Structure 1
């Protein structure tokens, strides 16, 4: 199951204004904002969604992390770890080893790999922060 999807935009504020207005009839609004400082220099991002679930992300991104971002839901941390290892073995490039990402939320455990075209592919488990 796809957990969330995101992509880079040229002007985050302009994109915010567009998507807030365009998605309002669908009940989708900005639920989360992540600053460039929070990502360690990997761009600023807005998470839009509904019912407390930010599933549509737009962000400034960096050229090495350009293209599309797709995150697949994982049932546990071991599956996230297995995804990362399998993706690297298949020729992907590491874009974030498995680990907690508390700047998203306390139990966010994810791993990121760039595919052959530079798309950022992630597996994430939303679980216990311990």
Structure 2
């Protein structure tokens, strides 16, 4: 007599959970794609690859130090995602960093909202679901 092994059965709930996890991972991938693509902020194409984010954070720290010492004029050359150089004052560097950080935070919030939906929309990559 054949006895089924309960470990070999895949329940409908497990299949649904696996599909939801895979879709959630796809939402995360879309969020990361959007972070890396970046956006235009005050005419500057800010991208969000790891090295770009570290560079902007370092420039923001240097800008804070300049401002703390009373230097509001020294410019920093920032090469953007389109390989265009911008001469930015310390205040402009800080503004660029702050707006970039706010954009990334908004992307995370959008991805969390999408993953909380049941079901996750099939068109989750649509710009309608993401901040611009």
TM superposition score category, shorter chain reference: under 0.3
Task: With the length of structure 1 as denominator, give the TM-score of the two structures.
Answer: 0.24
Task: With the length of structure 2 as denominator, give the TM-score of the two structures.
Answer: 0.24
Which structure carries more strand by proportion? Answer: 1
